């Protein structure tokens, strides 16, 4: 009698895709590194080949600390002119490689590092794949004095749309950049590129968490059948 293996946990799927991302790291090149629990698995894997790369450009204080603790040199984004690859997770990804990011509040720095990269490799588990972006609350980093008017602009988009300041320990969360985050619920983002372009123009918006201009070229998706490679 044979018994089927237990399904992999979400943590195990994250480990798989973190390790799979190593093959996209270019030897001799600085690598762009994102933020979050899945990226932490990639950082741990990256430490096994750290002698093959000069170091990394990181999108958050948390990732920088983890990289340094593992002996990987971290470069300031201003020190590099381009990166061969940027490896990061996503809160949602659609069928064209457009993403929603910012659940970890690092979206601005993530977008800055992604813009330096020739190729964005997204690492995620299959729960992040969606037909239309918007089920995950959309993070928008805002200058605090503009938060209320930006929230009103989002809420004017539909009766079901709400926008609230993200809180931490009873006070507005403060990003690595000293700003606040609005989490917008109730959106269906059918045209991510146009949506990102529009919201980028609103005064007081630092970064909207739609990554359509900096979309994924590849997604390594952790599934029950193993790592699935999606190319866009």
For residue 36, say whether it is annotated as part of any ligand binding site. yes
For residue 94, say whether it is annotated as part of any ligand binding site. no
H or E, element range at 226: strand 226-231
Residue 215 · residue 96 · CB < 8 Å: yes
For residue 89, say whether it is annotated as part of any ligand binding site. yes
Q: Which residues pair with 162 in a beta bridge?
A: 185
For residue 64, say whether it is annotated as part of any ligand binding site. no
What is d(CA 205, CA 221) in angstroms, rounded to the nearest whole number? 31
Residue 157 · residue 139 · CB < 8 Å: no
For residue 125, say whether it is annotated as part of any ligand binding site. no
For residue 4, say whether it is annotated as part of any ligand binding site. no
Residue 96 · residue 30 · CB < 8 Å: no
Catalytic member of 92, 110, 141, 196 = 110
For residue 102, say whether it is annotated as part of any ligand binding site. yes
Based on the residue annotation, tell me whether 110 is a catalytic residue of this protein: yes
For residue 35, say whether it is annotated as part of any ligand binding site. yes
What is d(CA 99, CA 151) in angstroms, rounded to the nearest whole number? 21
Expressed in angstroms, the distance from the first to the final Cα of the chain is 42
| Residue ranges of the binding site for substrate | 35-38, 88-91, 101-104, 128
Binding site: which residues?
35-38, 88-91, 101-104, 128
What residues are labeled active site?
110
């Amino acid at each position: 009698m044979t018994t089927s293996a237990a399904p992999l946990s979400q943590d195990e799927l994250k480990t798989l895709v973190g390790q799979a991302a190593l093959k996209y790291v270019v030897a001799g090149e600085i690598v762009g590194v994102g933020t979050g629990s899945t990226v932490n698995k990639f950082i741990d894997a990256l430490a096994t080949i750290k002698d093959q790369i000069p170091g990394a450009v990181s999108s958050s204080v948390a990732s920088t600390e983890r990289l340094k603790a593992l002996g990987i040199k971290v470069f300031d984004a201003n020190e590099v002119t381009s990166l061969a690859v940027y490896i990061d997770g996503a809160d949602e990804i659609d069928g064209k490689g457009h993403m929603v990011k910012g659940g970890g509040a690092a979206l601005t720095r993530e977008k800055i590092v992604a813009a330096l990269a020739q190729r964005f490799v997204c690492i995620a588990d299959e729960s992040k794949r969606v037909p239309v972006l918007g089920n995950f609350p959309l993070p928008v980093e805002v200058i605090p004095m503009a938060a209320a008017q930006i929230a009103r602009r989002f809420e004017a988009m539909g009766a079901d749309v709400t926008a609230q300041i993200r809180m931490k320990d009873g006070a507005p969360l403060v990003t690595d950049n000293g700003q606040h985050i609005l989490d917008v619920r109730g959106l269906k983002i059918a045209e991510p590129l146009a949506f990102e372009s529009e919201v980028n123009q609103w005064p007081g918006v630092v970064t909207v968490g739609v990554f359509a201009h900096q979309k994924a070229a590849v997604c390594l998706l952790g599934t029950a059948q193993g790592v699935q490679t999606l190319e866009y």
